[in-house]
Structure 1
């Protein structure tokens, strides 16, 4: 499927919005709008109304999206026009605070604006001529008469720069085209009707910076102006529209958002009108599209009966029903089953059409009952091998869903996860199945996720486009001048729009409608890092931020060859050092700013300049299994290291403390050792892979061992510690592999708490994410993130990842706010969650699963994301 570029329509609408900014502010008196509207031609493409004052200038100061759409040159010209004319000393008393209409009109192969400015008092032509002469010092003023009306031309002395204006009915009309301006006064040109004017006035929102109105039947005409080729499957849907649309702008710094009402009344031959009496549904098929999708359109229905009866009437009107009926009759004669009662009910209430970046096309249809489908699909299809089938009868999908599937005459299909995926070539389906197996979905990308956060989750019709993925198709279909602008990155910024979407939701015969366009951002999608550093290989630990001298911090990163790099907060390398092995656990910085580091075979204590302290490094007699824990029992600091089935102990000068290694545990010690003092007893606590909890004193003597019944299964997660004032109220938490947490007291019997359902691959952490007095149970299992209260085991958030998430969550403190947790997914997307369980603004961002989030220097209250991408560069993003 080619020639499907609806982006041209969206860009046109955005151009209108961009131009509005230069000329106005909030609507204050809707009744004034109708005065100038009644003089505009019936074939007006689009209109907006606003008051002439400077409030919006403040709101949209340096609003980059407008410049990106209309171009740097046009933006400068419009600003000059506003400053020299509308804000001139002579004209301001007449137009300040008055209503302005900005309308757009077709003129040959281009779109031309017309300005209609209401004035606060009556003017005659002599007074107007005097005013124009006074404000036009930088222009050559040329008066002339046509259609019984005095026109003025203001010539800047540059080719095609003449602004033509005329005054009538207490309105100044102006345009760079005298032909367009002349239509206002030509009595033979039919004007906008009263019903349309009432619609625009009634749906204008006073509390929005910008409002936009357009005639639906003109959308196809706009597309024809911009495109050099015929319509395809997407744009065919707008070719027979009637009625009008009114949108109001929701301001966002890095996105265009317009919301309002669309009336398709009178669009009897329109496919989209079938959804006017449906209600919005959650749409899920976008989650099954391959990563290389350039655009798609998703349809959902709430009332199957009304949809199918309406589709039948539409096919009859379009003289298509007889052809479709023949195919259905052939099916029913051959199979002896009813299409309406047996075949049609196999499909659910959602279907979609997608175009890939190579211009291949997929159709997706939700199956209502997988078992029922399995028992019946061979009645209308035959196998071609490799889990791919072909329809035996033509036009069955067209009969079921209408226009979107018209090009699928006898398509091939495959079934994945309750979804029928159709295509006109088997190779397309084989490629799709490979993407599905590897979970390479569009829904897993940063662009899609950020866009999904903007738009409504419920809709009846959603069109989505990523211009970068569809660039070649866009350029193929735009006329040369528009294609040139689209490619020009110096004067225009079309390349900086990540994604566009348009949504329609049925509303008792009309529609709620929305337009969204996601623009680049310094913090969104990793748009603009503060700095980057190129490394030779992948980092194997999350970055750490440590103190350099009490006044400055530094960032420490270890890459795959075990080289450790230290960077200043502005990305300058301070030093590098090669360590013997991967750093285990967390480096620990002591009061003198020295840093304790453990690898499998050595214990290090280094200064902030990367050099070893005297007596270090120290070779370990047993292989370390995690990083160190520092105690301060009896005012003496010691270093404790878990070493598989025993504990190693050292003084701060690197001297080994004997005794610990003689008290081995029953299996591998998991993660770090916990320490606490209760009463007169100092505790060192270890959890093992056989679900045993050991309580040692500071000299390595086992005080208590608690073995837990996990049905013989080993455990794999760190233990959690709650240390109160005494042993009776202090606990250790241990997670099993079946959805339960053991609460192990320092004294007494353990208690088993059922939380959920998970398996041996689940991640359990005991951390404070809710911001309360107690820590929380954090579970990541089966690509689902849950947080539970440790006080009453209640769940207070849940998040389901579409892609695989098999990396342990990371936990960070940030300035002035509650702690956050981060998750890196298997397809290199970084998510950050707050205490409410919502993905934080600006996330997800592309990057490996080892990352840091938080402050990076004294005196800087911002939080930073430090991460690596597949180019082996370290990126620092400011939030």
Structure 2
């Protein structure tokens, strides 16, 4: 078996039994596990346990994580082994439904697997020989004796292809290494202890596709097999571990998820054991890491007193206490301040260490008392300028927090949001402050957000890694053969794992532990689009969906050079035309399937095949400022277009309706025109930038006008309309720049509604996002998305973006349902929200802020995301 990297060793066979979760019967006797375990050597690195079931075949066809971990060649070998041996007519009845253990063992500088397969009935060696001889013609059977045991070599005729087998105690043991197999029968080799076996068996979940066991003290040994360099801070934490871990697998197609128990009670010299008596806490420091963080480890404590007393005892055992005590004594003598009673309580219950993609390191420490910190700042540090300080005394952070800060002897630090950020160079901190100002955080990326949705929000220790960001770090530390496998994208799929994390949560002296790995999928993170289309420029509008012929739909997209493209739902380009300008607002499809669209200087009406209707396009006498509104008043359809401070009117044939634009308004018309019929009056309503609302009749005559008091400030958001049966119960909504909305009745007094606090850069929309009888107020301001009921101003939800969000929200209509909200952030992350304000599964996804989300064809109820990325490609993802 070829060598592989550390994470894959621990997880190597996890996916083999994944589909058993869907079909298998796991109500097995746990004693089956212990029977084979007692013959495995004490030096075993890790063990996977699963049932041998016919349904495991599915895994070899559909589960990409399996192929990514073991490699294409090894995958082929295992598939052949399964089909030719385990599924053979002779062997299948003996092992069907039985327990299989796959254990991993060190052999010089590589890791070798050993298979242990339970047999459902007792057989002797002669019977086994007969079975093996009849397995097939592809193997040459070579029996031999060693250690008082009959071995069989199954040779395929090529180098290193011999599988060695032996039968004992109703178990078939097999390995491609004779030396590893021999350890089972060598009485001089110490075997796994009864206590360890009991731990594994007691924590084995019967309703899981696979159980994974490993010995904590072997983790550092695995790392040494793989690594060419010395341990750093991360791996130093596992170097002194004792005890064992038992995990059970949760099946998910695009992620590894393992959960279980970790016992570190024998790890008296282990830093991690300090957290066994703590309780899990919400961890927040990950939100402050810069976007270029490749990995981090976050620690949180619930009981500072027990942590610090435990740390002091650990430092004594490690013989570090004397050196640290001198530093503390120097500080106390100079400052006249108690380190334990004054300085230690200043810091909160969370601290973290991160490695950046350039291999620089930073530390983060939460400050609990900012006043006390400010009062004592000059006693333990000195300013070096640019809001950066340096510790005056060595090893104070090591004394406070232990191993994670051992390398920060006299670090520099800066303060942001009551968090101390430390580094060994001032340049690292200046770069961090720049990232902080620009809000370029790791937590704002799609990978981090999707991974956070997998793992627990509460923990005492969380280790997080993004292999792509940390690729250079990983390759620098792996031995050549393992580095080669890691880079080999044809044979392996390590590059398709977006992120990994490991968590420990204290559990009255032991730990609840879990491991997560996020893999690419068809919808998550833009893993695999349904189709793509290359354009030459960025798109300038969101994509639109229109009817093609009553049976099919098509997609309309405009790029920056004003070319309009039409695509079929399966990605075929139907046509393209060059328009004179950007399409404004929303194109409207009429009953005859023709589409009305407006640019700054022209009015278009074209068919789904891209050809203009007779009489179109039409040159506009004034510059349009938004898309058209189409009315049917008195059985006559007209097209109305806002043109800065006036309204243009046309028939459906493209004939201008004279005189309508002669009535100008005070200011710029905001967005689209609203229309309704109340009684005998047909209304056309325009809101302007001067906070005026004009009520016109269908011929352009002003019925009345209302001007609102906005303290002289102009407004910039669209108006909203509620049309009832009469003027007194019909309203227009208009938002000011100070957190209020004006409710303007067609007849009667205006009412001012206070919703919150926002400024001139806020986006206000009046849309149906709750699915109720009334539309709702939706506001995006100060990087927060808020939704309120228009009926009683109650809040539906609030969502705060970590990154900048300065693009107007998009709304996608659903027949008979509430609207879907879409937001594209400034760092090209696409969010889609449901009516509950929760981010929909699979989001955020990378892409520009102009996008579409919803169905794209008849007969297909799935939702699709249509967006563009920085490569100017259109990507279509199915959700």
Q: What is the match of residue 585 of structure 2?
A: 585
Give the drift of 1:223: 0.8
Matches within 5 A, 1:611-760: 611-760=611-760
Aligned equivalent of 2:177: 177
Cα gap change, 1:717/1:499 in structure 2, threshold over 3 Å: closer, same or farther? same
1:11 to 5, 8, 12: 8
Q: Is this contact kept in 1: 2:19–2:55, CA < 8 A?
A: no
Deviates more, 1:793-802 or 1:273-282: 793-802
CA distance in structure 2 between the aligned counterparts of 1:762 and 1:691, rounded to whole angstroms:
15
> Corresponding residue for 1:308?
308
- Whether contact under 8 Å (2:5, 2:482) holds in the other structure is no
Q: 1:104 to 1:866 in 2, by over 3 A?
A: same
Q: SS where residue 135 of structure 1 aligns?
A: coil
Please give the secondary structure, in 1, of the residue aligned with 2:307. helix
Partner residue of 1:849?
849
Aligned partners of 1:848, 1:637: CA distance in 2, in Å?
36
Distance 1:758 1:235, change over 3 A: same
Change (3 A) 1:31 1:817: farther
In the alignment, is the contact (CA less than 8 A) between 2:17 and 2:51 conserved in 1? no
Asked if structure 1 preserves the Cα contact closer than 8 Å seen for 2:20 and 2:209, the reply is no
TM-score using structure 2 length: 0.95
2:246 match: 246
Instruction: Give 1:23 deviation, angstroms.
Output: 9.8
1:3 corresponds to: none
Secondary structure of residue in 1 paired with 2:586: coil
CA drift at 1:814: 5.3
**In 2, are the aligned partners of 1:94 and 1:119 still within 8 Å (CA)?**
yes
The residue aligned with 2:432 is: 432
Q: Give distance in 2, aligned partners of 1:150 and 1:92.
A: 21
Offset of residue 829 of structure 1: 0.8
Q: Distance in 2 between matches of 1:791 and 1:61?
A: 54
CA shift for structure 1 position 591: 1.8
Tell me the alpha carbon deviations over residues 413-432 of structure 1, each in whole angstroms, 9 at most, x when there is no partner: 11222221111111111222
Question: Comparing 841-850 with 600-609, which one deviates more in the overlay?
Answer: 600-609
More displaced stretch, 257-266 vs 644-653: 644-653
Distance 1:816 1:173, change over 3 A: farther
- 1:121-140 matches, within 5 Å, as 121-140=121-140
In the alignment, is the contact (CA less than 8 A) between 2:463 and 2:502 conserved in 1? yes
Answer yes or no: is 1:49 the counterpart of 2:49: yes
Secondary structure, counterpart of 1:813 in structure 2: strand
Q: Distance in 2 between matches of 1:203 and 1:786?
A: 45
Do 1:22 and 1:78's aligned partners in 2 also have CA atoms closer than 8 Å? no
Aligned equivalents of 2:814, 2:247: Cα separation in 1: 39
1:547-602 alpha-carbon deviations (Å, 9 max, x no partner)? 33434433222222333333333434443333333221111122222222222333
Q: Work out the CA distance in 2 between the residues paired with 1:11 and 1:537.
A: 41
- Unaligned 5+ segments in structure 2 are none
> What is the root-mean-square deviation of aligned Cα atoms in Å?
2.1
Note the alpha carbon deviations across 1:74-120, whole angstroms, 9 max, x for none. Answer: 11111211222222222222222222222211122121222222222
| Distance in 1 separating the partners of 2:739 and 2:626 | 25
1:339-379 residue CA offsets vs partner (Å, 9 max, x unmatched): 12222222222111111111111111122233432332121
Instruction: Report Cα offsets for 1:775-810 as digits up to 9, x if no partner.
Output: 222111111112223333332322211100010110
2:420 counterpart residue number? 420
Q: 1:18 & 1:651 partners in 2: Cα distance?
A: 65
Q: Is the 8 A contact 1:20 1:102 kept in 2?
A: no
Deviations 1:804-837 (A, max 9, x none): 0010110113589753111000011111112222
Question: For residues 100 and 434 of structure 1, what CA distance do their matches in structure 2 show?
Answer: 54
Q: Does 1:348 align with 2:345?
A: no
State the alpha-carbon separation in 1 of the partners of residues 205 and 548 from structure 2.
55
Task: Tell me the distance in 2 between the aligned counterparts of 1:627 and 1:467.
Answer: 46
CA contact (8 A) 2:18 2:59 kept: no
Q: Which residue of 2 aligns with 1:479?
A: 479
Say which SS state the counterpart of residue 456 (structure 1) adopts. Answer: coil
Cα distance in 2 between the residues matched to 1:442 and 1:727: 52
C-alpha distance in structure 2 between counterparts of 1:731 and 1:130, whole Å: 89
CA distance in 2, matches of 1:309, 1:8: 37
Report the 3-state secondary structure (helix = DSSP H, G, I; strand = E; otherwise coil) of the residue aligned with 1:415: strand
Q: Deviations over 1:217-272 (max 9, x none)?
A: 11111111111221111000000111111111111111111111111111111111
CA distance in 2, matches of 1:740, 1:211: 57
Separation in structure 1 between the aligned mates of residue 20 and residue 532 of structure 2, nearest angstrom? 41
- 1:204 equivalent in alignment to 2:204: yes
Query: Which whole-Å deviations, capped at 9, do the CAs of 1:417-462 have from their partners, x for residues lacking one?
Result: 2221111111111222222222222122221122112111211111
**Aligned pairs for 1:503-542 within 5 A:** 503-542=503-542
**Bigger Cα displacement from structure 2, 632-641 vs 679-688:** 679-688
Q: Deviations over 1:837-860 (max 9, x none)?
A: 222222211111111122333344
Whether 2:387 is the aligned partner of 1:390: answer no
Q: What is the CA distance between 1:636 and its match in structure 2? A: 0.4
Number of aligned pairs?
873
What per-residue deviation string (whole Å, max 9, x for no partner) do you get for residues 163-215 of structure 1?
22222222222222222222222222222122211111111111111111111
Alpha carbons 1:69, 1:492 under 8 Å: kept: yes
Greater Cα shift, 516-525 or 121-130: 121-130
TM-score (norm 1): 0.95
Q: Distance in 1 between matches of 2:98 and 2:520?
A: 35
Q: Deviations over 1:689-740 (max 9, x none)?
A: 2333222221222233333343443322112222222333322222232333
Contact map agreement 1:26 1:208 (CA 8 A) in 2: no
Which deviates more, 451-460 or 736-745?
Answer: 736-745
Q: For 1:641-677, what per-residue CA distance to the aligned partner results, in whole angstroms no more than 9, with x for missing partners?
A: 1222222222222222234334333322211111111
Further displaced range: 590-599 or 402-411:
590-599
Aligned match of 1:550: 550
Q: Would the alpha carbon gap of residues 79 and 23 (structure 1) be closer, same or farther in structure 2, given more than 3 Å must change?
A: farther
3-state SS in 2 of match to 1:235: helix
| Alpha-carbon distance in 2 for matches of 1:130, 1:534 | 62
- Is 2:281–2:459's contact at 8 Å kept on the other side of the alignment? yes
**Cα distance between partner residues in 2 of 1:92 and 1:130:** 14
Structure 1 residues 755, 22: CA separation in 2 closer, same or farther (over 3 Å shift)?
Answer: closer
Task: Determine the C-alpha separation between the residues in 2 that align with 1:124 and 1:178.
Answer: 21
- Distance (Å, rounded) in 2 between the aligned partners of 1:677 and 1:664: 22
- Separation of aligned partners in 1, 2:708 and 2:56: 66
Q: Give the secondary-structure state (helix, strand or coil) at the position aligned to 2:12.
A: helix
Quick check: 721-730 or 798-807, which moved more? 721-730
Q: CA deviation at 1:21?
A: 5.7
CA separation in 2, counterparts of 1:344 and 1:50?
49
Shift of 1:313: 0.9
Structure 1 residue 496 corresponds to structure 2 residue 496 = yes
Report the counterpart of residue 369 of structure 1 in structure 2.
369
SS of the residue corresponding to residue 214 of structure 1 reads strand
25-34 vs 497-506, which moves further: 25-34
Distance in structure 1 (CA, Å) of the matches to 2:293 and 2:188: 48
64-73 or 416-425, which deviates more: 416-425
